[in-house]
Amino acid sequence: MTANPKMPKALFFGDKNRIEMVYGEGRIDEVASISSLYDTVVTRVNFEQHLDALHEVEVIFSTWGMPLLTDEQVTALPNLKLLLYAAGSVQSFAAPLLQTGVRIVSAWRANAEPVAQFTLAQILLSLKGFYRNVREFDGGPVSFRSAWRGPGVYAQIVGLLGCGAVARRVIELLAPFDLDILVYDPFLSSQEAEQLGVQKVAITSLFSQAAVISNHLPDKPETVATIDHTLLSTLKPGATFINTGRGATVVETDLIAVLSRRTDLTALLDVTFPEPTGEASALLSLPNVIISSHIAGATNREVFRMADLCINEYKRYVAGATLQHEVSADMLRRLA
């Protein structure tokens, strides 16, 4: 790893193991070749030991595990101009940096991509009736003909709960499939909905009309227990409920009650509350529930997509070009 002394002084800040994972396969060396990179990963624990070097730092690269800096620590970084965060939400640490004029880039779009791809796959298979079909088909000639077949991937209604980064990418990925998309999001304007090519509806309308519903509600106090018995009971015959968002937005006891009674429904849960569900959860024994272990987000080599976004943004910064993934204080306020 050879630093380029003619380039901005940079360092990696945060959890060393996560940094080595996300910026793996030569990406740390790439950062070193295009910056004057400090040779030690700085953490909250060793911060004080590296104060002399921190004074000159202009750019920080980080990822999951980036800590909230104290006022004293921010003061110790007087030349910091840019923080590149190879992960999603920056809510936990961004505010004090933005207040001092530090620019922040988040790889939230890259972080949303694998979740959107995972959701797309589940939506298409659900519309074909795949999940119910395989549980009803036992290999015999009777079930070969009688096992459920879904409505198909054409002229059907898909409902999305929430219209954040993941849901918007899902909308883009669904565009070629001739589907009608309903969205429930109190903060989505009618003008934005029209631009996205979706119909904004009340949550009750979405549950009663959609053949497949995918949950992307944010993790906020006001969204806890949003999806309850009343809504779940109105699902169309043969409908599928997908959750790659947050488990706490669903009342688990209500979900169990409805799915136990209505075997025509299917639930695909990549998140639960609590997580993991625990061996005693009835969700694990219901035949119309499939639970995956929170795998929709970036895993294995997918995490490199976030590092690559940050490295590309750094190159734009050095070239004086407009940053494409910058987070503003206004964005933070709207997402709070």
Q: What is the predicted pLDDT for the residue at 5?
A: 73
Indicate if 164 and 280 belong to the same structural domain.
Answer: yes
Indicate if 41 and 131 belong to the same structural domain.
Answer: no
Assigned token pair, 227: 């999806």
Indicate if 187 and 256 belong to the same structural domain.
Answer: yes
CA distance 291 to 272: 8
Residue 67, exposed/middle/buried by CB under 10 A (0-12, 13-18, 19+)?
middle
Q: For the chain, how long is the longest CA-to-CA vector? A: 76
Indicate if 69 and 124 belong to the same structural domain.
Answer: no
Angle, vertex CA 34, rays to CA 31 and CA 39, nearest 5: 50
**Sequence-ordered list of residues with C-beta below 8 angstroms from that of 282, at least 6 positions apart, any chain:** 256, 260
Cα-only R_g, the chain: 23
Do the domain assignments include residue 88?
yes
Half-sphere exposure of 322 (CA within 13 A, CB side): 1
Indicate if 208 and 267 belong to the same structural domain.
Answer: yes
Q: What is the predicted pLDDT for the residue at 219?
A: 85
Q: How far is CA 103 from CA 288, 294, 310, 313, in A?
A: 47, 31, 13, 12
Indicate if 286 and 178 belong to the same structural domain.
Answer: yes
Q: What is the predicted pLDDT for the residue at 334?
A: 63
Residue with the two structure tokens 């883009």? 172
Q: What is the predicted pLDDT for the residue at 1?
A: 64
Do the domain assignments include residue 40?
yes
Do the domain assignments include residue 4?
no
Pair 268, 241: CB distance under 8 Å: yes
Indicate if 267 and 120 belong to the same structural domain.
Answer: yes
Domain count, the chain: 2
Per-residue pLDDT of the chain (336 residues; tens, 9 = 90+): 666 778 999 999 999 999 999 999 999 999 999 999 999 999 999 999 999 999 999 999 999 999 999 999 999 999 999 999 999 989 999 999 999 999 999 999 999 999 999 999 999 999 999 999 999 999 999 999 999 999 999 999 999 999 999 999 999 999 999 999 999 999 999 999 999 999 999 999 999 999 999 999 988 899 999 999 999 999 999 999 999 999 999 999 999 999 999 999 999 999 999 999 988 999 999 999 999 999 999 999 999 999 999 999 999 999 999 999 999 988 877 654
Indicate if 98 and 70 belong to the same structural domain.
Answer: yes
Q: What is the predicted pLDDT for the residue at 335?
A: 56
Do the domain assignments include residue 2?
no
CA distance 9 to 40: 13
Return the CATH number at 134. Answer: 3.40.50.720
Q: Which residues span the domain enclosing 128? A: 112-291
For CA atoms 27, 29, 30, 36, the dihedral sign is positive
On the question of a cis peptide bond just before residue 141, with omega within 30 degrees of 0, the verdict is no
Indicate if 330 and 237 belong to the same structural domain.
Answer: no
DSSP state of 320: T
Indicate if 143 and 81 belong to the same structural domain.
Answer: no
Residue among 79, 86, 71 at smallest CA distance from 18: 86
Q: What is the predicted pLDDT for the residue at 4?
A: 75
Residue 239: count other Cβ atoms within 10 Å of its Cβ. 24
Strands 326-327 and 103-106: antiparallel
Indicate if 105 and 120 belong to the same structural domain.
Answer: no
Indicate if 74 and 199 belong to the same structural domain.
Answer: no
Do the domain assignments include residue 79?
yes
